[in-house]
Amino acid sequence: QDLEGFILGLPKAELHLHIEGSLEPEQMFEFARRNGVALPFASVEEVRAAYAFSNLQDFLDIYYQGARVLLTRQDFHDLAMAYFRRVAADGARHAEIFFDPQTHTERGVPFDVVADGLLAAMDQAQAELGVTSKLILCFLRHLSEDDAFATLNHADPYLDRIVGVGLDSSEVGHPPSKFEKVFAAARARGLKVVAHAGEEGPPAYVYEALDLLEVDRIDHGNRALEDAALTQRLVLEGMTLTVCPLSNLKLCVVDDLAAHPIRRMLQLGLRATVNSDDPAYFGGYLGQNWVETAKAVGLTRDELVTLARNSFTGSFLTDDEIAAHL
Ligand code: HPA
Ligand code: ZN
C-alpha cells in the first residue's frame, strides 16, 4: 500500500484546529457577498498571494481580518461543516476544534450566534459523517485577563457543550502567567485546559503552562526541545503535544519541513501528534500535514501508527468513546 493510502486509512483525530483558520478564500468571498462586507482583496488569487508570512503576527493580522466576514449563525455552521467534510475525507474520526469568541464579540457578533452555529454543525457532522467533535474556547492572549473572564462568563450557559479552554494569539510578551486566575476558574468549572506554548515563546512559557495553568495538553511545544530537563518532564508526564508541521513551516518556526523535529520528538518518547492548525492559511488539511511531513522526515509506518494512537490517547474522548472509533 502506498504511503498516502496508508495514512488516509489510519483512524485518527485532529487535536489542534482553529475553526476560523479553516476559512477558505472562496468562502471568504461568498460570506462577504451575502453579508455585504467589503473585502480589501479583488480576487481569490489576490487573497492567496497575501498568505506569505514571516512569523506568527504576520499571519494573525490577516487571519483576524478574514474573520470579519463571519457574522451569522449560518456562517459559523457552514464554515464548520466544510471543515468536517474535509477532515472526514482525510480519515479523521474525531476533531477537537478551537474557536476564538473574542474575535467575534469584539465586532458585535454575539457569543450565542457563534456557539450555536458551531454546535449545530458538530451535531450534523456526527450524524452525517460519523465524525465526533469537541469544542474548545480559546482566550486571545493579547487581550486582558479581565476580558478572558468576561468570555468565560459568556460561555457559562454552554458549559455542557464546551470541553475546555485554550490560549492562542500573539505568544511572545503574553506569557501563560497573565492568565493564571482565569485558567484556575475554568478548571474549577470542570473544564479541561490547554495552551499554545513554545511555538515562538521560550521554554519558560511551557513551564508556566504546566505549573501555573496546569494544562492537559501543550499546543505546539516545539521550543521545549531547547531544554533537556523540560523535555524529560514532558516525557515522564506523558504530556500530549499538538504539533502542526505545515503551520510551523509557513510561520517560519522551522526553515524546512525536512528539518521538522516531529520524528525526534517521537524518538525522545514525547507524546506528539500531527495537526493542521489553520489549514486554509497554511496550505493543507490534516491528511496533507501527515503525508507531507511523513515524506519530508521519513516517518516509518510504526511511527505513523504511534501518531494515530497518540491522537486518541491525547484527546478528551473517554475510553469508551475511543473504543467506539477504533
Ligand atoms: N498560534 C497562535 N494563535 C493562533 C494560531 C497559532 O498557531 N492559529 C490561530 N491563532
Ligand atoms: Zn494554533
CATH number of the domain residue 183 falls in: 3.20.20.140
User: What is the chain's pLDDT, residue by residue, as a tens digit (326 residues)?
Assistant: 899 999 999 999 999 999 999 999 999 999 999 999 999 999 999 999 999 999 999 999 999 999 999 999 999 999 999 999 999 999 999 999 999 999 999 999 999 999 999 999 999 999 999 999 999 999 999 999 999 999 999 999 999 999 999 999 999 999 999 999 999 999 999 999 999 999 999 999 999 999 999 999 999 999 999 999 999 999 999 999 999 999 999 999 999 999 999 999 999 999 999 999 999 999 999 999 999 999 999 999 999 999 999 999 999 999 999 999 88
Does residue 209 lie in a domain region? Answer: yes
**Ligand 2 center–CA 199 separation, angstroms:** 9
The verdict on residue 177 lying in a domain is yes
DSSP category for residue 73: H
- Domain span including residue 57: 3-315
Residue 150 lies in a domain: yes
Q: Count the alpha carbons within 13 Å of 182 in the hemisphere toward its beta carbon.
A: 27
Residues with Cβ < 8 Å from 314, sequence gap 6 or more? 15, 217, 240, 242, 271, 273
**CA 241 – ligand 2 centroid, Å:** 12
281 domain residue, yes or no: yes
Identify each DSSP E strand in 29-107 by its residue range. 92-99
Residue 290 lies in a domain: yes
Contact 166, 197 (CB under 8 A): no
- Cβ atoms of 8 and 287 closer than 8 Å: yes
The β-bridge partners of 12 are 92
Cβ-count burial 119-143 (b if 16+ within 10 Å, e if not): bbbbeebeeebebbbbbbbbbbbbb
Answer whether 311's CB lies under 8 Å from 273's CB. Answer: yes
Asked if the structure places residue 322 within a domain, the reply is no
Give ligand 1 pocket residues (Cβ under 6 A): 18, 21, 56, 168-169, 196, 199, 247, 277-278
**Please, which residues have CB within 8 angstroms of residue 92's CB and are 6 or more apart in sequence?**
12, 13, 14, 131, 286
As residues whose CB is below 5 A from the ion ligand 2, the structure lists 277
Would you state the cell numbers that stand for residue 316, as one nine-digit string?
A: 478528551
Is residue 324 in a domain? no
Please state the ipTM of this predicted complex.
Answer: 0.96
Is 320 a domain residue? no
Please name the helix (run of DSSP H) or strand (run of DSSP E) that holds residue 165, with its range, or none: strand 164-168
Q: How many domains does the chain have?
A: 1
DSSP secondary-structure letter at 213?
S
- Is 4 one of the catalytic residues? no
